[in-house]
Structure 1
Amino acid sequence: MLVYISKRLMLVPITLFGIILINFVIAQFAPGGPIEQIVAKMMMGQTSTTAGISGGGDMGMSSDALAAAGTVHSNTTYGLDPELLEDLQKQFGFDKPAHVRFFTMVWNYIRFDFGESYFQNRPVIELVIERFPVSISLGLWSLLLIYGISVPLGVRKAVKDGTHFDFWSSTVIFVGYAIPGFLFAILLILLFAGGQSTFNWFPLQGLTSANWNELDWLDRVIDYFWHITLPIIALTVGGFAYLTMLTKNSFLEEISKQFVLTARAKGIDEKRVLFGHIFRNAMLIVIAGFPSALIGILFTGSLLIEVIFNLNGLGLLSYDAVIKRDYPIMFATLYCFSLIGLIMHLIGDLCYVLIDPRIDFETRQ
């Protein structure tokens, strides 16, 4: 197993390099960029030329910013002084060749030095650490809810296979699966968080109330769950179908095996057969898929949910960075997501071995 883990860990930097390279190239050819964002604000009178050059106001940049990708058309002056645009290019580091900026970025990322945000005047690592707990809490609560409901429901459906309960429960979970998470989130907001014809039971956005610091610990817990209820519901409603059917089919496969028929023929209690003989084998693929499921929730579903409910997590941070072309944040969050994803996939493989020692990945060619 140590050999297999070593091989997987050796592939991590290679995979990260490939992911960063592909996205760097895409950013090179994508229209727009941070300079265009600044120029647009200058032309709209939202910031001063002095602020953009000197690093004052909201446009301060650090020397680490040159590691980000980006282009600006040299033959386009936007009606401004060409010298001003040249100064902006130098400040962002875009006057350097693309390969120099790329390898500078890679070297900084190896040391987890993500530079500073173009538009927030703060180190990117501080922003990531600040937003990370929000995304993790949202993902963990959603995943626990999905597993807490889907596994018992899947077992029940396997026991009641072919009955009315099996049919109607499948109908409900597949309807939930068919509704996009972001659309269901908007529906929840319209029904329970805003508008004159709604119940207005939950807050419209945010993770805590304005008077959070004034509350005692119990009220803080209540306030937290009050705010996170709708986002979790929106995030989990589409996740029940896959895990429920996976659990059901896994149990049905084990139920039909010879050792189960033998146990029943011996007169062993049905509950003992179900949980003593079937449960461990059937739950192998379900439990081992926990890390992969967490990756799916964190990196796909949570992004839109954070944007819709205005939750200050990594999803909202990444979305704002893409809109503003804040490349240091864009590439830093991509790097963190990729690194966490690779590690979680390795943990998922290890879970298979811990649950069933008969599995040996070292024998795979």
Structure 2
Amino acid sequence: MWRYIVKRLLLMIPTLVGILAITFAIIQFVPGGPVEQIVQQLTRSGVPGETAVASTQLIKGATGLAPDEIQQLKKLYGFDKPPLTRFGEMVWRFARFDLGESFFHHQSVGQLIVSKLPVSMSIGLWTFFITYLVCIPLGIAKAVRDGSAFDLVSSTLVLVGYAVPGFVLGVALLVLFGGGSFFELFPLRGLTSDNWATLPWWHKITDYLWHITLPITASVVGNLAVMTLLTKNVFLEEIRRQYVYTARAKGLAERTILYKHVFRNALIPLVTGFPAAFIGAFFTGSLLIETLFSLDGLGLLSYESVIRRDYPVVMGSLYVFTLLGLAAKLLSDLSYLWIDPRVSYEEGGQ
């Protein structure tokens, strides 16, 4: 197993570098980079002035820029070097977990990601836990009652929820319960109230839960169908296997067969996806949900970084997300070994 782990870790390196290289190459052909945006802003200002060099703003109030001033801008943002040189320097920084500094936020990319992480974690982790806690029992109940009225009605409800986009449901929830046109039961924005820091600890908890009710509902409903139907199909396949008929022939109770024999085998494909889903929950900030409920998380940060051509944030966040995604994939594969000892990753063992 250790040989397999080392091999997978080594394979992560070219995979990670390849993803960064493709994204970096695409960026080179995208018009409207940070230098072009600064030049456009300065040209649009229309106020003659002097050139002033500072840490965050090179030139103020110019109607036109001389070639040497544009060259200074390129040097400020690091675009005075060839693309291969810049790519090599970026990879070397990333290898030392130095993600660089944002062009527009004027702080390190690492600090920026960490500052936005609590919002995305609040949405992602609650969505993750609620989805698993609802879908697995519901999927088991549907498998046991396959073809019944309960199975038909529950399938219809979860599929309707899946068909409705999360942001559309979010708008409907705001209109109905956020003071839009009917009831004002929940707040419109943020994860906490403005006076949250002064509240007693029990009021902090209730205030936080009060604020996340609508965004979590909008995020969870669309996720229920896939996990519920997956759970149902996996359990239904196990229930129809020969060993279940043999256990029934021996006179075992249905409850014993379900929880002692079927449950362990059926949970293997569900549990093996747990590491990837859990790690992904930290970074599952939905741009539309965050925008709709005024939540400043990673989804909104990524969108703004692409629009503003904040390349250090784009590449730095991509590096972190890809690295964690590859680690989650490795943990998912290893979980097969922990759950089912019959699985082997040795040569010719699988």
Asked if Structure 1 and Structure 2 have the same fold, meaning a TM-score greater than 0.5 normalized by the shorter chain, the answer is yes
Give the distance between the partners of 1:230 and 1:112, measured in 2 at CA: 36
Residue 321 and residue 291 in structure 1: after superposition, are their counterparts in 2 closer, same or farther (change >3 A)? Answer: same
Residue 279 (str. 1) matches residue 272 (str. 2)? no
Contact 2:275 2:328 in 1 (8 A): yes
Q: What is the identity, as a one-letter code, of the residue corresponding to 1:137?
A: S
Q: Pairwise mapping of residues 84-99 of structure 1 onto structure 2 (< 5 A)? A: 84-99=69-84
Contact persistence 1:263–1:273 (CA under 8 A): yes
Contact 1:207 1:224 in 2 (8 A): yes
How far apart, CA to CA, are the structure 2 residues paired with 1:263 and 1:353? 26
The answer to whether the aligner puts 1:165 opposite 2:147 as a matched pair is no
Q: Is the alpha carbon distance of 1:51 and 1:112 closer, same or farther for their aligned partners in structure 2, counting shifts above 3 Å?
A: farther
Cα distance in 1 for partners of 2:52, 2:284 equals: 34
Partners in 1 of 2:13 and 2:138 — Cα distance?
40
Mapped partners of 2:243, 2:182: distance in 1: 55
Moved more, 182-191 or 284-293: 182-191
The letter for the 1-side match of 2:155 is: S
In structure 1, the partner of 2:128 is: 143
User: 1:105-164 deviations in whole A, cap 9, x for unaligned?
Assistant: 010010111121111221111111222233233211101100111101100001110111
What is residue 329 of structure 2 aligned with on the other side?
345
| Equivalent-residue separation in structure 2 for 1:106 and 1:178 (angstroms) | 41
Amino acid at match of 1:103: G
Secondary structure of the corresponding residue to residue 286 of structure 2: helix
Residue 188 (structure 1) shift: 2.2
Would the alpha carbon gap of residues 47 and 132 (structure 1) be closer, same or farther in structure 2, given more than 3 Å must change? farther
- Of the candidates 112, 132, 138, which is equivalent to residue 127 of structure 1? 112
Which string of whole-angstrom CA distances, capped at 9 and with x for unpartnered residues, describes residues 313-343 of structure 1? 2222212211211111111111111011111
Give me the identity figure in percent. 51
Q: Report if the CA contact (8 A) 2:117-2:283 is conserved.
A: no
Matched, 1:6 2:6: yes
* Cα distance between partner residues in 2 of 1:114 and 1:288: 31
Q: How many Å apart are 1:217 and its aligned residue?
A: 1.5
Task: Give 1:36 deviation, angstroms.
Answer: 2.5
Alpha-carbon contact 2:120-2:282 (below 8 Å) kept:
yes
Which one-letter code corresponds to 1:317 in the other structure? L
After alignment, is 240-249 or 202-211 more displaced? 202-211
Tell me the alpha carbon deviations over residues 34-59 of structure 1, each in whole angstroms, 9 at most, x when there is no partner: 12332333345499977973224xx4
Check conservation: 2:139, 2:229, Cα contact below 8 A: yes
> Of residues 224, 240, 243 in structure 2, which corresponds to 1:256?
240
Q: Mark the runs of 5 or more structure 1 residues left unpaired by the alignment.
A: 61-76
- Supply the distance in 1 between the matched residues of 2:64 and 2:155 (Cα, whole angstroms): 61
Separation of aligned partners in 2, 1:156 and 1:252: 10
Scaled by the length of structure 2, what TM-score is found?
0.91
Q: Distance in 1 between matches of 2:52 and 2:302?
A: 23
* Pairing 1:225–2:201 present: no
Q: Tell me by how many angstroms 1:231 deviates.
A: 1.7
What is the CA–CA distance in structure 2 between the aligned matches of 1:48 and 1:280, rounded to whole Å? 74
- The structural deviation recorded for 1:17 is 0.3
**Number of residue equivalences:** 346
Q: Which amino acid aligns with 2:36?
A: E
Q: CA 1:355–1:185 in structure 2 vs 1: closer, same or farther (change >3 Å)?
A: same
Measure the CA separation in 1 of the matches of 2:247 and 2:127: 37
C-alpha deviation, 1:266, in angstroms: 2.1
2-side partners of 1:182 and 1:15: how far apart? 33
User: Could you give the per-residue CA deviations for residues 285-316 of structure 1, whole angstroms, max 9, x where no partner exists?
Assistant: 11111233346655566343223323222222
**Which residue type is aligned with residue 161 of structure 1?**
D
Q: Which amino acid aligns with 2:298?
A: L
What is the CA deviation profile of residues 259-295 of structure 1, one whole-angstrom value per residue up to 9, with x for unaligned ones? 2112212222211111111100011111111233346
The answer on whether the counterparts of 2:120 and 2:284 sit within 8 Å (CA) in structure 1 is no
Task: Tell me, yes or no, if structure 1 residue 308 matches structure 2 residue 302.
Answer: no
Q: Does 1:187 align with 2:167?
A: no
Q: Which amino acid aligns with 2:129?
A: L
The equivalent residue for 1:107 is 92
Change (3 A) 1:41 1:49: farther
SS of aligned partner of 1:358: coil
Shift of 1:237: 1.1
Q: Residues 94, 164 of structure 1: CA spacing in aligned structure 2 closer, same or farther, 3 A cutoff?
A: same
Structure 2 match to 1:19: 19
Instruction: Using the TM superposition, name which of 262-271 and 129-138 deviates more.
Output: 129-138
TM-score normalised by the chain length of structure 1: 0.88
Offset at residue 200 of structure 1 (A): 2.3
Q: Do 1:310 and 1:316's aligned partners in 2 also have CA atoms closer than 8 Å?
A: no
The aligned amino acid for 1:345 is K
Distance 1:52 1:170 in 2: 65
**Residue in 1 that maps onto 2:101:** 116
**Pairwise CA RMSD of aligned residues?**
2.4
83-92 or 94-103, larger mean C-alpha shift: 83-92
What residue in structure 2 maps to residue 237 of structure 1?
A: 221
